[in-house]
Amino acid sequence: MEYFLQLLLGGLTRGSIYALIALGYTMVYGIIELINFAHGEIYMIGAFTALIMSSVLTLYGFNEVSIIVLSSLIALIYSSAYGFTVEKIAYKPLRGAPRLSPLISAIGMSIFLQNYVLLAQTSDFLPFPTLIPEFNFMKNYEHVFGSTELVIVVTTVLVMILLTILIKFTKIGRAMRATAQDKKMAMLVGINVNKIISVTFIIGSVMAAIGGILIASHIGQINFYIGFIAGIKAFTAAVLGGIGSIPGAVLGGFVLGWTESFATGYVSSDYEDVFAFALLVLILIFRPEGILGKSSSQKV
Amino acid sequence: MLNVSEMKKSLLVSIWFMFLTFPIMVIRVNPIEKIVEWRWGNMFLVGIGSFILSFIWRYFIRQKESGLKKVEMGEKIIPFFEKLRSGDSIYLRSLCMTLSCAAAVFPFVFSTYQTTIMTTVLMYVVLGLGLNIVVGLAGLLDLGYVAFYAVGAYSYALLNYHFGLGFWTVLPLGAVLGAFFGILLGFPVLRLRGDYLAIVTLGFGEIIRLVLENWNEFSFGPSGIANIPRPSFLGIQFSLQQATVYQYFLTIGLALCTIFVVNRLQDSRIGRAWIALREDETACQAMGVDKVRTKLRAFALGATWAGMVGVMFAAKTTFINPASFTFIESALILSIVVLGGMGSVPGVVIGACILILLPEYLRAFTEFRMLLFGAILVLMMVFRPQGIISNVRRTYELKGVPGRTLRD
């Protein structure tokens, strides 16, 4: 029973991270119908920036709280700057091009960013500092659910709530929904579509960076390649829940997290990634529109 | 062009990039020894580089826009290669003659090392042409193409290990197995559109690699399989050098065969169906093209070549392990197709030559190889989506009506 509980909570933690990254995919897809392949790389850059900044700040003798706050903040700023720039370079010139073009461009961007970090930094795994403090009241549950896990789940829930408020009740959220429904129409009613697309990339990148920092301090090490697998898995989560649907991405993240957690716990840990991919293939065969997605007829 | 506002724009771009690359390019930390290294030189380079590149970028964007306008105005831009083909065919014929002569004497003039490199290039030509069927003609973005390559390589290695089958027996078997796996992948993804398809094929490629890596009883895991015999010729055993030359000619044969088949396929009924499917799936079905069959054929025929090259690869290196079949390999083959021109056979040949030979001869370059591939994919899509040599659509000139053409 305890083993089961451990896997359940482990899956919850994993699922939260997948959900955070999947949101970025789903939002971008909802607006410009593009799989932003470079999204996983944004997540990796977020984690790297946090690692670099926290090391620098530690060396200059800042105290613990300011290190956590400052390095996370800088990481968020930088990853959103990267998300913004990637969109401007690789996707914006391709509006209206055939569907395959932006996708290939996105793959290129992803390969480019990976190797950029590899060349400018290192190919080795770097130890990530434990940014998240240990809480005393969690001591008794340490063996099933640590402080880091708690922080991850709580942060994810908070981010989800904020995002829902942003999309449902603010002006920019309404503009985003309008753009997602019909770009031309949105333009006609005076929405700056280019700006909305940029904002979407920035929001998605911020969430990816939050996910990156959380998972890096949970696992304790990062390298340039972490974004690739995480990106594919998060995409799986987004498809699982129905791409374009925000609650779907969250649900998909949790379903994927639990699937992986239980499958590695009860079947075999060698095939951790295979389960995720197999789940993706199965979902696409039997329910391509995802759990919460609406099936749409194809336009000619 | 070099006015103040342009300078200002470029200055802003360069400041933005200096800011953007600051933590990753400038600072390098060593968390174990607690050292921070500041590399201000890099920042300077980024600033200068992005300043110049932004001019070039805007210049090309303007070029592209004026090009589009010209097309809208009805001006016809004839690509260079098409001029070559439609003009005096003597040029083309003499070019072909020179190339084939050069190819024939190559292994006798240059060293074994050079021959090996050329063999590699030719293998990638075949792989590129195979992927070209799937991506270029049928418009199905396959990111797991390397899986079929792995299937071919492992089928030779394993069949030889367990049953002692020779190269020539396995070569057609590898092709069949490749096609089989192509259909196996094709079935579940039939209903999917472009972007979903890309991810599923990527997942499929990774599954194959992970299975090969972890299923030790079957594939000997990450340590791979060694001592795979080289191809024989009527039972004659070659020395290493002779074997290299022999392999070279075998690969040339395969490449020529592929070029011939792909060229014929393009103009055949299936080829037309693929192109129609690429342009518009729904309209294509309405015209009576069987979508299921056409797509499966594209997957199967594309994978066949990868299976064959896989067998050749195993015979060439005599050692294989899962590390040779990563996503990077798929990305490389895709870059070849994209750089050369999707759907264009000479384009793929040139693309393979550039992308394999460049890093081979510019050793200092090797480090930046992958960075370059990524950049090529993005830049080609932004500035020249049709590739170096664009595939020209066949047009029928209507005789007697000047200036009018019919598109087929």
Distance (Å, whole) CA B321 – CA B153 = 9
As a whole number of angstroms, the distance between CA B45 and CA A155 comes to 39
Cβ(A264)–Cβ(A223) under 8 Å? no
Q: Which one of A28, A115, A205 would you mutate to disrupt binding with B, by most B Cβ within 10 Å of its Cβ?
A: A115
A258 Cβ neighbours under 8 A, 6+ residues apart: A8, A11, A12, A15
Contact A114 B32 (CB under 8 A): no
Handedness of CA A240, A242, A243, A249 (dihedral sign): negative
Q: Do A85 and B16 touch (CB under 8 A)?
A: yes
As beta bridge partners, residue B233 has B236
Res. A144: pLDDT tops 80: no
Averaging pLDDT over each range in B217-231, B339-353, B379-393, which range is the top one?
B339-353
Q: Tokens for B274?
A: 């693929």
Q: pLDDT exceeding 70 applies to what percent of chain B?
A: 87
Query: Which residues of chain B have a CB within 8 Å of the CB of A28?
Result: none
Show residues of chain B in contact with A236, CB under 8 Å.
199, 203
Summarize pLDDT for A225-283 with one digit per residue, the tens. Answer: 888 888 888 888 888 888 778 888 888 899 889 988 888 888 777 777 788 888 877 87
Say what the pLDDT of residue A299 is.
Answer: 40
Minimal Cβ distance to B24: which of A48, A59, A102: A48
Distance between A241 CA and the closest CA of chain B, angstroms = 14
Q: Among B214, B375, B382, whose Cβ lies nearest the Cβ of A94?
A: B382
Report whether B121 contacts B280 (CB < 8 A). no
Answer yes or no: is pLDDT of A77 > 90: yes
Whether B133 and B302 have beta carbons less than 8 Å apart is answered as yes
What residue ranges do the domains of chain B occupy? 4-72, 83-109, 111-326
Mean pLDDT of A78-103: 87
Of B28, B61, B283, the CB nearest to A121: B28
Closest residue in B to A111 (Cα–Cα): B374
Is the per-residue pLDDT at B52 higher than 80?
yes
**How many beta-carbon pairs under 8 angstroms link A with B?**
175
Q: Where are the beta strands (DSSP E) in B272-398?
A: 395-397
Distance from CA of A42 to the nearest CA of B (A): 12
**Closest CB to A232 among B188, B203, B371:** B203
Q: What's the pLDDT tens digit per position in B190-227?
A: 777 667 788 788 888 888 888 888 887 777 878 888 87
Distance from CA of A169 to the nearest CA of B (A): 31
- pLDDT band (50, 70, 90) for residue A297: very low
* Residue predicted with more confidence, B388 or A184: A184
Chain A nearest-CA residue for B284: A300
* B contacts of A97 (beta carbons < 8 Å): 381, 385
Distance in angstroms (rounded) separating the CA atoms of residues A167 and A174: 6
CB neighbour list of residue A151: distance below 8 Å, 6 or more residues apart: A132, A214
> Of A205-214, A230-239, B150-159, B248-257, where does mean pLDDT reach its minimum?
A230-239
Radius of gyration for chain A, computed over Cα atoms and rounded to the nearest angstrom: 19
**Is B200–A126 a contact, with Cβ atoms under 8 angstroms apart?**
no
Q: Domain A2-286, what fold?
A: ABC transporter involved in vitamin B12 uptake, BtuC (1.10.3470)
Q: Enter the tokens of residue B341.
A: 């021109």
Average pLDDT over residues B159-178: 86
Q: Do A300 and B206 touch (CB under 8 A)?
A: no
Q: A269 to chain B, minimum CA–CA distance in Å?
A: 10
Tens of pLDDT, residue by residue over A1-54, are 778 888 888 888 888 888 988 988 888 888 888 888 889 899 999 998 988 888
